């Protein structure tokens, strides 16, 4: 799934309750990380919930970042699924070019996502971008 598909999917729902249910459903579709992968080295700092991001670089050319991720919260796990749709399989430049504020405004999360979850999402994005810069 890509960003445009996400925007279209969220636009289909009329209420925020439906959109949150869809977000939770996206998270349920993520494969679980095994417990051994949930290490402090892969934990996202700045999230109230626990979130882990494990990168994998595909040599390319061009190099592309793939990652596995998980959370202990159902809504945050849905946000992890959003991050995967936005960044998984992208090059460093493609990752840098994603405008999170624009995507959130188009989905409507700019007005309906709590400050804590938004900050946590930004922390996850910062970690993903750091992995992309390092590849």
Catalytic residue list: 47
Stated pTM of the model: 0.91
User: Residue 40 has what pLDDT?
Assistant: 94
User: Residue 78 has what pLDDT?
Assistant: 94
Contacts of residue 15, defined as CB under 8 A and 6 or more positions apart, other chains included, come to none
C-alpha torsion sign, points 37, 38, 44, 45: negative
- Mean pLDDT for 26-54 is 92
Residue 1: pLDDT over 80: no
- Bridge pairing between strands 51-58 and 64-71: antiparallel
Where do we find the tokens 């289909």? 12
Convert the pLDDT of each residue in 74-129 to its tens digit.
999 999 999 999 999 999 999 999 999 999 899 888 888 888 888 889 999 999 99
- CATH no. of 3-134: 3.90.1010.10
């Amino acid at each position: 799934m890509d960003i445009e598909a996400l925007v279209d999917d969220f636009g289909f729902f009329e209420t925020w309750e439906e959109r949150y249910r869809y977000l939770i459903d996206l998270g349920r579709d993520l494969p679980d990380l095994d417990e051994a992968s949930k290490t402090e080295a892969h934990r996202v700092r700045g999230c109230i919930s626990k979130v882990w991001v494990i990168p994998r670089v595909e040599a390319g050319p061009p190099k592309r970042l793939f990652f596995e991720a998980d959370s202990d919260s159902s809504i945050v796990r849905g946000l992890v699924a959003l991050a995967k749709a936005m960044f998984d399989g992208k090059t460093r430049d493609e990752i840098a070019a994603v405008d999170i504020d624009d995507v959130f405004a188009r989905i409507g999360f700019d007005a309906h996502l709590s400050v804590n979850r938004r900050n946590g999402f930004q922390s996850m994005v910062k970690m993903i971008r750091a992995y992309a810069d390092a590849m």
